[in-house]
Amino acid sequence: MDSRGALVGINSAIITRSGGNNGIGFAIEVDMVRNIAEKLIKHGSIERGYLGVSIGNLTKELRNLYKHEEGALILDITPDSPAEKAGLARGDLIIKVDDTSVKDAGDLKNAIGMQLPKSSVRLTYERDGDVRTATVELERQEGGSFGRNATLFEGLTLENLSETHRYRLRIPDDVSGVLISEVKPDSEAASQGLSAGDIIVQVEKTPIDSVKSLQRALKNGSGKYKRVYVYRSGRVFVVALK
């Protein structure tokens, strides 16, 4: 509750070692609580809208690549999902859902999760410096021998993927890219969280399937920061490297 006694959220977790409150807690905001309560009363269950994207926040480096400083960055898109059908792509920065501003990935999750399946939302997003819109019909949220080495980014040693790599690292057959075999500890790549075993799958809009294709992708805009999409343990995230 706030200083006036108005309910603003409900605690979902509190950090404690002794059973008391250490002053650090997590809460569900009251708008979401109200939305969930109304759905339970009306439908007897919770149904959430599903967009079909993996999203992240803008880092300091990534902000240099966008006109907007806030938003939810699309890292990956599920095949045949509402997002793919609407023409959204990796690298799009979602800045609004209908008339509501999106400041980060959490805002987008809440905005989409509070919608019912089959409802339509208008997404405003930035792509290549242009602001675009897309109308998306949401679906139901279900519960639920080595290649040659290369150093194309400072601090990274890269290799073509082989069957040996796939077996040892349990990489699915549908994942293509270039394996990061070594990361220099004090490099920019290390500071952005890259580690050995990660796979570079895309640079800007160019899918990567070999060291040669990565070299070709880097020829455009040499020396400038680029969005580099990385696969790790079933998920894709993005960093800005040059």
Quick check: helix, strand or coil at residue 64? helix
CATH number at residue 115: 2.30.42.10
Residue 24 tokens, joined = 């650090």
Could you tell me if 72 and 100 lie in one domain? yes
Identify whether 2 is part of a domain.
Answer: no
Identify whether 25 is part of a domain.
Answer: yes
The residue written with tokens 């500890």 in the block is 185
Could you tell me if 38 and 65 lie in one domain? no
Could you tell me if 33 and 62 lie in one domain? no
Residues 173, 174, 175, CA angle at the centre, nearest 5°? 95
pLDDT for 187 beyond 80: yes
Identify whether 123 is part of a domain.
Answer: yes
Could you tell me if 118 and 168 lie in one domain? no
Domain stop point among 140, 170, 196: 140
Could you tell me if 132 and 158 lie in one domain? no
Nearest 10 degrees: Cα torsion 106, 111, 117, 118: -130
User: What are 153-163's pLDDT values in tens digits?
Assistant: 778 888 888 88
Quick check: helix, strand or coil at residue 207? strand
C-alpha–C-alpha distance, residues 216 and 218, integer Å? 5
- The answer to whether 115 and 51 have CB atoms below 8 angstroms apart is no
Could you tell me if 117 and 35 lie in one domain? no
Identify whether 1 is part of a domain.
Answer: no
- The answer to whether 97 and 82 have CB atoms below 8 angstroms apart is no
Half-sphere exposure of 237 (CA within 13 A, CB side): 14
Identify whether 4 is part of a domain.
Answer: no
Sort 213 into a burial class: Cβ within 10 Å, 0-12 / 13-18 / 19+.
Answer: middle
Residue 91 tokens, joined = 């690298």
Could you tell me if 18 and 68 lie in one domain? no
DSSP 69-116: S-SEEEEEE-TTSHHHHTT--TT-EEEEETTEE--SHHHHHHHHHTSP
Closest-CA residue to 197 (of 207, 214, 182, 186)? 182
C-alpha–C-alpha distance, residues 68 and 154, integer Å? 28
Could you tell me if 156 and 191 lie in one domain? yes
Structurally, how many domains does the chain consist of?
A: 3
Could you tell me if 65 and 23 lie in one domain? no
Domain stop point among 94, 110, 140: 140
Range of weakest confidence among 24-38, 61-75, 184-198, 205-219: 24-38
Could you tell me if 132 and 66 lie in one domain? yes
Share of the chain above pLDDT 70, in %: 75
Domain of 19 in residue numbering reads as: 9-43
Domain stop point among 109, 140, 171: 140
User: What are 75-132's pLDDT values in tens digits?
Assistant: 988 777 899 999 999 999 999 999 999 999 989 988 998 888 899 999 999 999 999 9
